[in-house]
Amino acid sequence: MTERVLIKDLSALADQTVTVSGWVETVRDQKKVQFVVLRDESGAVQLVNPRNTDADGIVIPDEPAVTISALTQGSFVTATGSLKHDERVKLGGLEIKLDSLSVASLADPATPIAPDSGIDKRMDWRFLDLRVPRNALIFRVQTTLEHAFRTYWIDRGYVEIHTPKLMASPSESNAELFKLDYFDTTAYLAQSPQFFKQMAQSAGFGKIFDIGPVFRADPSFTSRHATEYTGVDAEVSWIDSHEDVMVMQEELLVAGFTAVAQKHGAEISELFGIDIVVPSIPFPRIPLHEAKQIVAARGHVIDRADDDLDPEGERQIAAHVEETFGHQFVFLTEYPTSIRPFYHMRSDENPALTKSYDLIFRGTEITTGAQREHRVEILEAQAVEKGLDPRELDYYLDFFRHGVPPHGGFGMGLARVLMLMLDQGNLREVTYLFRGPTRLTP
């Protein structure tokens, strides 16, 4: 069997016989010569097949000409032929003169989506949508970003854990929960790995991270919400405050953005028309009450029942930070207890505030982080204050009854980071298979 060569590697080879495999992007079936643009996961190359004619100039129906004439867009084929470097060839400066062409799978001639199809139609045919180089690049970027995150953590002694997604009780509150039958009882899909990340601190792991699915029964139809997404979480012991968590997260993001810029920067610039900007450290930090004053001074009135910023408020504070600091990230700190979970530690100076933060990137929140309350009697009291029954949290509270160090961490949405990094307007563009209130297929 001839070894398959990835198309991206052809330019480094001398002129020789090569074999490539991929799908048919276009066919030009002309009288004297046939051209096929073949694309694989790494790039595209032009295949050329001069037609054979008899003495009267009549085309001889031989192979691979007959096979090419029957090709449809999207068919998967393997081609063997003579590689030739030629600067006159617009597609990569090289082509392959065909010796043979075999069809692995012939595609239906009717293509269900077009380049200008709406996002819902493209999501219906996501596997075809992902053949577009621009869309496929998103997931190579995602791979590089996740690898950089893992490398940062592993190089610093973190332990990767995989927390369960089936839970006997809610992980944060009774809201936004998917319930399901579990033998003779009820289970819940995890809203967060929060409790199990904290258990690792009680177990003495010290520093952990978890990258995995998160489920939210949120009926939102916005461009930045999903019912299932990939969470990027970390938790660390022996912190002095949430500032230690913030420092770790900004270093993590710098490592991730640096890796993406180095490996994919040129291709992102070509296909997305943007430059990846590696953020400088430290990120700006603004207390929430100051952020609200800044937003008000910019002319936006926040119309919310709680004390948080609304989406436009997030965009306004981001615009202020960009104008003032030239930065795309900002930590908002000192969130009130009224809008934070019971397990967030409260400020020593002002018990109405928590030792927590949100991280805003280009006008959208991507992270909530905090120092956690590790004193069991205070945890119980704060749970009751939030309307939770400590008896339903008994297994969680057990983590703190046998000793646990001061600790904190964060949860970050991977797709939101990608969406904002690549300047996309919708989370669905950067999610392999999106799940929302009305989408469970494909």
User: Is there a binding annotation on residue 134?
Assistant: no
pLDDT in tens, 38-65: 999 999 999 999 998 877 778 788 899 9
Q: Does the annotation list 436 as a binding residue? A: no
Task: Determine the pLDDT at residue 216.
Answer: 94
Phi, psi dihedrals of residue 202, rounded to the nearest 5°: -65, -30
Residues 64-74 pLDDT 10s = 999 999 999 99
**Residue 377 annotated as binding?**
no
Minimum mean pLDDT range among 93-97, 340-344, 390-394, 427-431: 390-394
pTM of the full structure: 0.94
pLDDT-based confidence at residue 170 (cuts at 50, 70, 90): low
Note the pLDDT of residue 52: 87
Peptide bond into 390 cis (omega under 30): no
Number of H helices, E strands in the chain: 11, 16
| Chain-centroid distance, C-alpha 165 | 19
Query: In what order do the strands lie in the sheet containing 179-182?
Result: 166-167, 185-189, 179-182
Looking at residue 354, the DSSP 8-state letter turns out to be B
Q: Is 435 annotated as a binding residue?
A: no
Nearest alpha-carbon partner for 245 in 167, 135, 344: 344
Is residue 261 part of an annotated ligand binding site?
no
Short-list 70, 13, 79, CA closest to 46: 79
Closest CA to 411 of 346, 358, 335: 358
- Residue 371 CA to residue 406 CA, distance in Å, equals 8
Query: Which tens digit of pLDDT belongs to each residue from 270-315?
Result: 999 999 999 999 999 999 999 999 999 999 998 887 889 999 999 9
Beta-carbon neighbour count of residue 203 at 10 Å? Answer: 13
What does the pLDDT read at residue 220?
87
| Bridge partners, 409 (sequence order) | 235, 370
Q: Which residues contact 149 (CB under 8 A, 6 or more apart)?
A: 209, 211, 232, 252, 255, 256
- The token duo for 78 is 């393997």
According to the annotation, is 140 in a ligand binding site? Answer: no
Confidence at residue 303, expressed as pLDDT on a 0 to 100 scale: 83
Question: Is 368 flagged in the annotation as binding?
Answer: yes
- Same fold? 7-105, 124-430: no
Q: Which residues, including other chains, have CB under 8 Å from residue 290's CB and lie 6 or more apart? A: none
Task: Provide mean pLDDT across the span 12-25.
Answer: 98
Average pLDDT over residues 387-404: 92
How many Cβ atoms are within 10 Å of 305's Cβ, its own excluded?
5
- Burial class of residue 209, CB neighbours in 10 A (0-12, 13-18, 19+): buried
Mean pLDDT for the chain overall = 95
CA 316 to chain centre: 24
Domain residue spans of the chain: 7-105, 124-430
Please check if 392 is assigned to a binding site. no
- At 149 the pLDDT is 98
Round to whole Å and give the CA distance between 433 and 442: 7
Contact 344, 354 (CB under 8 A): yes
* Identity of the residue numbered 26: T
Read off the amino acid at residue 324: T
| Topology (CATH level 3) of domain 7-105 | OB fold (Dihydrolipoamide Acetyltransferase, E2P) (2.40.50)
- Is residue 428 a known part of a binding site? no
Q: In terms of CATH, what superfamily is 124-430?
A: Bira Bifunctional Protein; Domain 2 (3.30.930.10)
